[in-house]
Amino acid sequence: MPNHVYATIMLCAGIGIPVLAALNAALGQRMGSPAAAAVILFCVALVVAGVAAIVTGPRALVHAAGAPPHLFLAGTLVAFYVLSVTAIAPKFGIGNAVFFVLVGQLISAAVIDHFGLFGAPIKGMTLARSGGLALMVAGVLLTQRA
């Protein structure tokens, strides 16, 4: 696929993060339990991911058995994100919650790229890249100050 298609898909995924936060926070408040709302979210996500896996190649699932255990930490991280944003966003604000998530993502992505962690291609931290990240953080900060 061309890079502009990848960029468009990732832009849509990024748009979905605050929408997910707002919807699940509202569900958690309605249910009186952020954890129960997270369970509902993960059940729906399991069905959607299951259908996608069946459509795109169900045999790939058997390869999970041979994967290194640390790769399954991703499930814990997504659960932590969903539980924390569902519980905190209604009290802290969707914008504030997503602001700190974005700053964390920028820092984490820079470290992963710099060291090539988890098999990612190495993209060293240069002065220009550091400046770009600082500008992104400043931009996100400005959106919350207004």
Q: Looking at residue 90, what is its pLDDT?
A: 94
pTM of the model: 0.83
Pair of tokens at residue 121: 């291609």
d(CA 17, CA 22): 9
Taking 80 as the threshold, does the pLDDT of residue 146 lie above it? no
Residue 113 · residue 122 · CB < 8 Å? yes
